[in-house]
């Protein structure tokens, strides 16, 4: 297994190089249900923990989109990858766009899973209050996960995800990343991008919907496509991993 100073989880040994960036409730290990389905002979995928998460939970940081992008590029440098694809979920879907902005000549394709747009995510007062409370309150995390998957999944699964999120994220970092993904706006820098982008949204995700993507990200990227994943909410890698893996392989197997 390849080692990096960033303690990334690097899986596979194939010629197609990909960096995976996780969501607000995630971490590098959260990709495992999906990672085990991807062809390790075709892909080498490096899953990065942000500062304050997972293997880097004690690493200090500013907890911004810029910092995630810089760490992702450092990871590529350490792996010797001049060119690479990016895959990101939710907050990570925003972060991969930020990497592309900073190093467009190095990025091949973007695969965005229920991504936050580059314009950020407007939240009403009640939603902001709930999301802010989630830094300290596991019940708030459960409520957010349950809502974002359409209130249709087993409570045990929801509780397990919330518990792992509490255990594998620093509370101050978690709170700061809310500001990063909700209030950072670099939409003007992705506008008219020709980088190939494929978006997956879940049919049961109430917030990051087809309509929201049509009003934001799909307007800005000149070479973008989208699919609505049946029987999925905000976490297709957990809810429909085989279907998602098929979509990833179709899109990322194309030559850079």
What does each of the 256 residues of the chain score in pLDDT, given as a tens digit? Answer: 577 899 999 999 999 999 999 999 999 999 998 999 999 999 999 999 999 999 999 999 999 999 999 999 999 999 999 999 999 999 999 999 999 999 999 999 999 999 999 999 999 999 999 999 999 999 999 999 999 999 999 999 999 999 999 999 999 999 999 999 999 999 999 999 999 999 999 999 999 999 999 999 999 999 999 999 999 999 999 999 999 999 999 999 876 5
Q: Calculate ∠ Cα 244-250-251, nearest 5°.
A: 95
Return d(Cα 220, Cα 123) in angstroms, integer.
Answer: 21
Return d(Cα 250, Cα 232) in angstroms, integer.
Answer: 19
Return d(Cα 92, Cα 24) in angstroms, integer.
Answer: 8
Domain 9-252 classification at class level: alpha beta
User: CB–CB of 28/49 below 8 Å?
Assistant: yes
Which sequence spans correspond to the domains of the chain?
A: 9-252
User: CB–CB of 78/5 below 8 Å?
Assistant: yes
Give the helix ranges, DSSP H, for 104-169: 125-133, 138-148, 155-167
């Amino acid at each position: 297994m390849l080692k990096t100073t960033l303690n990334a989880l690097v899986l596979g040994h194939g010629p197609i190089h990909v960096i995976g960036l996780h969501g607000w409730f995630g971490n590098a290990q959260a990709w495992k249900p999906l990672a085990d389905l991807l062809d390790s002979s075709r892909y080498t995928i490096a899953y990065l923990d942000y500062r304050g998460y997972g293997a880097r939970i004690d690493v200090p940081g500013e907890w911004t989109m810029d910092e995630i992008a810089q760490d992702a590029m450092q990871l590529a440098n350490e792996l010797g990858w001049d060119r690479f694809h990016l895959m990101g979920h939710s907050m990570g879907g925003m972060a991969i766009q930020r990497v592309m902005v900073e190093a467009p000549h190095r990025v091949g394709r973007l695969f965005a899973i229920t991504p936050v747009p580059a314009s950020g995510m407007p939240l009403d007062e009640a939603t902001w209050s709930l999301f802010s409370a989630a830094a300290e309150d596991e019940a708030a995390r459960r409520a957010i996960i349950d809502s974002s998957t359409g209130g249709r999944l087993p409570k045990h699964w929801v509780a397990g995800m919330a518990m792992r999120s509490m255990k594998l994220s620093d509370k101050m970092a978690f709170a700061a990343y809310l500001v990063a993904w909700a209030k950072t706006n670099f939409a003007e820098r992705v506008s008219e991008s020709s980088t190939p982008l494929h978006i997956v949204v879940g049919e049961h995700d109430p917030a990051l919907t087809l309509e929201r993507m049509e009003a934001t990200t799909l307007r800005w990227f000149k070479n973008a496509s989208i699919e609505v994943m049946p029987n999925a909410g905000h976490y297709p890698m957990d809810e429909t991993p085989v279907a998602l893996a098929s979509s990833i392989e179709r899109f990322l197997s194309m030559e850079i």
